[in-house]
Amino acid sequence: MDVWSSLMDGFATALTPMNFLYAVIGVILGTAVGVLPGLGPAMTVALLLPVTYALEPTSAFIMFAGIYYGGMYGGSTTSILLNTPGESSSVVTAIEGNKMAKAGRAAQALATAAIGSFVAGTIGTALLAVCAPIVVKFAVSLGAPSYFAIMVLALLAVTAVLGSSRLRGFASLSLGLAIGLVGMDSVTGQRRLTFGQPLLADGLDIVVVAVAIFAVGEALWVAAHLRRTPLHAIPVGQPWMGRSDWKRSWKPWLRGTAFGFPFGALPAGGAEIPTFLSYVTEKRLSKHPEEFGKGAIEGVAGPEAANNAAAAGTLTPMLALGLPTNATAAVMLAAFTSYGIQPGPQLFESQGPLVWALIASLFIGNLLLLIINLPLAPLWAKLLQLPRPYLYAGILFFATLGAYSVNLQAFDLVILLILGALGFMMRRFGLPVLPLVLGVILGPRIEGQLRKTLQLSAGDPAGLLGEPIAVGIYVIIAVILLWPFAFKLIRRNTPVAAASGAALATDADDAVHSNHNAVYSDHKEQP
Amino acid sequence: MTPLATGLKGRSELGVALLLGAAGVVVFLDANGLVTPYSKSDPVGPKTVPFIVAGMLVACAVLLAINVLRGGKGEAEGGEDVDLTHPADWKTVLPLAGAFVANILLIDWAGWVISGTVLFWGSVLALGSRRYVRDGLISVALSLLTFYGFYLGLGIALPAGLLEGIL
């Protein structure tokens, strides 16, 4: 079956009245929860997971598609109207967006964000529909050695490239891998790290881990540092754009999409780098560079499009390889597994109708967002006024409910509290949470591929290099791990000595991140 | 203050290094205790990966300790409602954790409607709301709504506990 006819089948599934209703519910729930301060898209998906348990997989994933884009969009509304973004990917949107809102142009800022998200999301989803089957075709030819290498690359890249301290990233990753070890070993059936506790034999439920780290950790952390005078949200009417706004927005939308999708699709892409690149590009190309820093619409249109295109891009490795590269995709992957669906290149074959229905509902969700959110924006803005005690008590309440309803055992709540405390500590001491969550999810699968590889080579470690793709990936891994050192050496103007293999030795900020931090600190200094 | 105490002041991040190190040792000891006959079909065995992870944890612990002693510092995470200018407010966090623990202890015995009410009410109070009656009503309403919502809408029967037969 070719892409087109599969996609049309997908639309047929997604547009049945019941499934369409789930898409609408997903979009509204996703936006409503995403708008709430302190709740990013990943936490939104994690908290809403239990709602989907009673549904059959197809309907559940159609709802997810809505929640995914809804959560994304909700986050940008928050950052424009409140100025302090919860997600690193909306940091850039907040810079110009909040300036626009303060200057009385909140309606235009929200409109260009909404329409830009729609444009980028639609193009991104189309690219996903075209690219994913190609990646799958390439991926089915890969064996265990290559998979092992790709997964290691994804883990290391996320750990080493994102965040400001590599050392703390690796600490977080190691903790995640350790948590992933808990439970029965899949090959020999031996119990690892269960401490004689039978309830741990099946391992930790990934939903419980995700809710603990994202929701409980965040609620406890905010509680410890709650702002006594909540930020003032800027009231907003119906979003709209004038002629000149359209004229200034459409090119940044397209350029933002072009930045966002490829970065999202890369193992360590994420949305931070493309939103930042888009901002810099728009600033350079703009006919009104003097407006930047005072509320330039291009500075909202471009990064917001990049953010959404990256969100679509992220789904490419997620669906085609079973490889999550950001927190939201990681949680969605966990949802796949909880339905007994094995992620990976076989997914398109074994669950074809489901995957295409998911892709089709991404298109539908995108359109619904535009239709629903433009008129509902004033209502979303009101959600920002929710008293903080209710908001964070509510997060804890629903986190508990979600984690408990997975297995209906109080033991899971103990785990939730312990890991929530861990999440609190990580936020306190600057350990990024994403490497931990990816470590928990990918750890067991990496181990599986490693054992398969060495089983095929009868224990010979050379088997790891048995496929040319694998060798190529190890070269990339070496470059990622070593380039900050090489960069440092060049900057010091010393003759380039061989950078030693002590890859973990320092936690130097690399070039991208020192730029990045400039944006962050810039942003924090705003009044 | 002794020189040691002065050296440790403001270095609470060393606790993180300690935790990483301890986790590494636990992972190592646990894996070391596994008994595995050599098997041709599984040359890697269940021990190898735990050993690697244990090594990573210990390495991170040591490097983090060095980093902190040299003056390195993790950047605490900001957010919409986070104000990092005041120190951690344990008077909020501990009662909040208390409400959470109360829920764990109560849920199987007293049922979700009661334990959920305690959880929400306790959390709201801990977070500084002082409208006791309104908060209480909202807590009961939320617990009842989720109980019936999960039962009727999702087919998940949360424990009814003490109120069994009434609900």
**What is the domain range of residue B35?**
3-69
- Specify the amino acid at residue B18: L
- B40 assigned to some structural domain: yes
* Cα–Cα separations (whole angstroms), residue A101 to A76, A108, A230: 13, 8, 18
Between CA B143 and CA B123 the distance in angstroms is: 14
Residue of chain A whose Cα is closest to the Cα of B75: A430
- B83 assigned to some structural domain: no
Final residue of a structural domain among B11, B35, B69: B69
| B110 in the same domain as B159 | yes
What pLDDT is attached to residue A505?
A: 37
pLDDT tens by residue, chain A, 527 residues: 578 888 888 898 888 898 899 899 889 988 888 888 777 777 888 887 777 777 788 888 888 888 888 888 888 888 888 766 556 667 788 888 888 888 888 888 889 999 999 999 999 999 999 999 898 888 888 888 988 998 898 888 888 776 678 899 999 999 999 999 998 888 888 888 888 888 888 888 887 888 898 889 989 998 998 877 766 777 777 788 888 888 888 899 999 999 999 988 887 667 778 888 898 898 888 888 888 888 889 989 999 999 899 989 999 988 888 888 888 888 888 778 778 888 888 888 888 888 899 999 999 999 998 888 788 888 888 888 888 889 899 989 988 988 888 888 899 999 999 999 999 999 999 898 888 988 998 888 899 889 989 888 888 888 888 888 899 889 988 888 887 777 777 776 544 444 443 333 333 333 333 334 333 333 333 33
| B62 in the same domain as B97 | no
Residue of chain B whose Cα is closest to the Cα of A184: B46
CA distance A315 to chain B (A): 26
pTM of the model: 0.83
- Specify the amino acid at residue A146: S
What pLDDT is attached to residue A373?
A: 79
Select the residue from A386, A400, A406, A523 to test the B interface by mutation, using most B Cβ atoms within 10 A.
A400
Select the residue from A76, A165, A168, A213 to test the B interface by mutation, using most B Cβ atoms within 10 A.
A168
| B61 in the same domain as B31 | yes
Length of chain B in terms of residues written = 167
CA distance A249 to chain B (A): 27
What pLDDT is attached to residue A502?
A: 37
What pLDDT is attached to residue A39?
A: 75
- B57 assigned to some structural domain: yes
| Residue B19 touches chain A, beta carbons under 8 Å | yes
Chain B contacts in chain A segment 410-439 (CB below 8 A): 410, 413-414, 417, 420-421, 424-425, 427-431
**Three-class HEC string of B101-155:** HHHHHHHHHHCHHHHHHHHHHHHHHHCCCCCHHHHHHHHHHHHHHHHHHHHHHHC
* Cα–Cα separations (whole angstroms), residue B47 to A194, A203, A272: 14, 17, 37
To the nearest 5 percent, what fractions of chain A are helix, strand and coil?
75, 0, 25
Place of tokens 């996703």: A30
CA distance B5 to chain A (A): 20
Residue of chain B whose Cα is closest to the Cα of A38: B80
What pLDDT is attached to residue A41?
A: 75
Chain A contacts in chain B segment 30-89 (CB below 8 A): 30-31, 34, 36, 39-46, 48-50, 53-54, 56-57, 59-61, 63-64, 67, 72-84, 86, 88-89
- B82 assigned to some structural domain: no
CB A507 within 8 A of CB A524: no
Nearest to A291 by CA among A302, A279, A300, A283: A283
Contact A393 B92 (CB under 8 A): no
Final residue of a structural domain among B20, B39, B69: B69
- The pair of structure tokens assigned to A292 is 């930047």
Count how many pairs of residues, chain A against chain B, have C-beta atoms within 8 Å: 240
- B124 assigned to some structural domain: yes
What pLDDT is attached to residue A526?
A: 36
Contact B82 A413 (CB under 8 A): no
Contact B138 A392 (CB under 8 A): no
- B74 assigned to some structural domain: no
Is residue A466 classed exposed, middle or buried when 0-12, 13-18 and 19+ CB atoms within 10 A define those classes? middle
Non-local CB neighbours of B64 within 8 Å, separated by 6+ positions: A167, A168, A171, B13, B16, B17, B20
| B143 in the same domain as B114 | yes
| Residue A218 touches chain B, beta carbons under 8 Å | yes
Question: Which of chain A's residues have a Cβ under 8 Å away from the Cβ of B57?
Answer: 171, 174-175, 178
Alpha helix segments (H runs only) across A182-242: 206-211, 217-224
What pLDDT is attached to residue A381?
A: 81
Contact B96 A396 (CB under 8 A): yes
CA distance A80 to chain B (A): 12
Instruction: Give chain B's domain count.
Output: 2
| Residue A458 touches chain B, beta carbons under 8 Å | yes
* DSSP 8-state secondary structure symbol assigned to residue A183: E
Final residue of a structural domain among B16, B39, B69: B69
| Residue A222 touches chain B, beta carbons under 8 Å | yes
